[in-house]
Amino acid sequence: MQRWEKRLKRLRRIESGEGIQKSAPMIQFSKRYGWALAAEAQGVLNGDQISLNAIAARRSGEIGEQPPPGALRVACYGESFTFGSEVDNGEDWPAQLEVAAAGALEVLNLGVIGWGTDQALLRFRDGHDQLGSDVVLMGLMAENIQRNVNRLVPVRAPKEFVPLVKPRFLLDGGELRLLPQPYASEIELYEAAVNGSLGYDLADHEWLAESSEGSGWSNVANVVRAKREREQRARWWLQWKEPDGEPFRVTVALLEAFHREALEAGAQMAGVVVFCSILDISDPDRELTALHAALDQRGIPFVDLYDVIRARHARGDGAYGNTHLTAGANREVASAVFEWLKQELGL
């Protein structure tokens, strides 16, 4: 709480002109997404060299209105496994995919650390007309199934001490309906965190709290903390095995909307790239049969990278750094994705 109060005082001083923002943070508050990467940010983030261009894509250079002659433009959306946490610019798999394609593809990395599929869908909707991408890819990591029904991040991740909030989509009569995050500014967010109204504001449709009743910030977090820490990994797979459950249905609906809207907007292909985290790489209970079947049924192309990553892990070649893929593993992912794209696109 003291940390939040200190941050709120600093924000108010900056707003009043009494304080100065020494440097713009690379990850900023966003009314639309909850948080987002800052366009043209340069520097080190969690030990990684990061360079973002004018559209907040992770690449050193800018892009033109059209891709280079003879190249298809590929836009990659998703979370930290798409962004490339724990590797430097140029080592993330979208960057290595562009290199592997040798002029056939211009690849834009639009992944954002911590995002759900819902936030990535919004980012696609907001930017696709401007980009006019020929191919759009959605990165999907197992934990997304929980993120997609979560509004108050510390409920899902109790060790997260920043009061992050996000929008989510509800299924209303089979259609997706956006439930925005309620704060217009970072000051409003921290005011709610400090005065205790944060949990009340976000309790409705917070699936992970397993209650539709408002119950205050500390209570919302405490109710689920012990249970979430015990069952964090197991529940990912439990939810993937329950196609009638809200997390599964919402996640598939988000992927279906992404695929349909991209094709309607003129993309040649819209597909899903499925990752696996270090927590589930050796889990014998990993089971995504229902997801694969749902994507096949809807005609959504996908590539599941489990076998590629697990093989590297089994060889002892270093699939993961701390919790994310190494530069070498990103290179193997890029190679696998390129082979998949060649088959899908006839390259």
Phi, psi of 125 (to 5 degrees): -60, -35
Nearest 5°: the CA angle 271, 273, 277 is 160
Per-residue pLDDT, 158? 61
Q: Please state, in angstroms and rounded to a whole number, the distance separating the CA atoms of residues 322 and 325.
A: 8
- The tokens for 297 are 């049924």
Is the residue at 94 inside a domain? yes
Contact by Cβ (8 Å): 217, 193: yes
56 vs 39: CA distance, rounded Å:
4
pLDDT of residue 284: 67
DSSP of 93-131: HHHHHHHHHTTSEEEEE---TT--HHHHHHHHHHHHHHH
- Local structure of residue 185 (DSSP, 8 states): S
Length of the chain, please? 347
Asked if residue 5 is part of any domain, the answer here is no
Q: Look at strands 105-109 and 42-45 and give their pairing.
A: unpaired
CB 31 within 8 A of CB 181: yes
- For position 210, what pLDDT does the model report? 58
In a domain, 216, yes or no: no
Range of the domain at 47: 42-185+233-345
Which has the closest alpha carbon to 296: 263, 256, 339, 245?
256
Does a structural domain hold residue 131? yes
Cβ-Cβ contacts under 8 Å for 46 (sequence gap 6 or more): 85, 86
Contact 100, 335 (CB under 8 A): yes
Closest CA to 247 of 272, 221, 275, 210: 210
pTM over 0.85: yes
Is residue 17 included in any domain, yes or no?
no
Query: Considering its fold, how many domains does the chain have in total?
Result: 1
Burial class (CB in 10 A: 0-12, 13-18, 19+), 173: exposed
Q: How many CB atoms lie within 10 A of CB 275?
A: 24
Chain centroid, CA 162 distance in Å: 17
Residue-by-residue pLDDT tens, the chain, 347 positions: 677 788 788 889 877 777 666 666 899 999 999 999 999 999 998 889 999 999 999 998 999 999 999 999 999 999 999 999 999 999 999 999 999 999 999 999 999 999 999 999 999 999 999 999 999 999 999 889 999 999 988 877 666 567 899 999 999 999 999 999 999 999 999 999 899 888 888 888 998 775 444 444 455 455 455 455 445 544 677 889 999 999 999 999 999 999 999 999 999 999 999 999 888 787 766 789 999 999 999 999 999 999 999 999 989 988 999 999 999 999 999 999 999 999 999 98
CA 318/CA 325 separation, integer angstroms = 8
Residue 179: inside a domain: yes
* The two three-digit tokens of residue 324, written as one number: 């994310």
Nearest Cα to 334, choosing from 131, 141, 80, 81? 81
Q: Is residue 34 part of a domain?
A: no
- CATH number reported for the structural domain that contains residue 178 in this entry: 3.40.50.1110
The answer as to whether 11 is a domain residue is no
Say if residues 335 and 342 touch (Cβ distance below 8 Å).
no
Q: What is the pLDDT of residue 175?
A: 95
Q: Given the structure tokens 């992404």, which residue do they identify?
A: 258
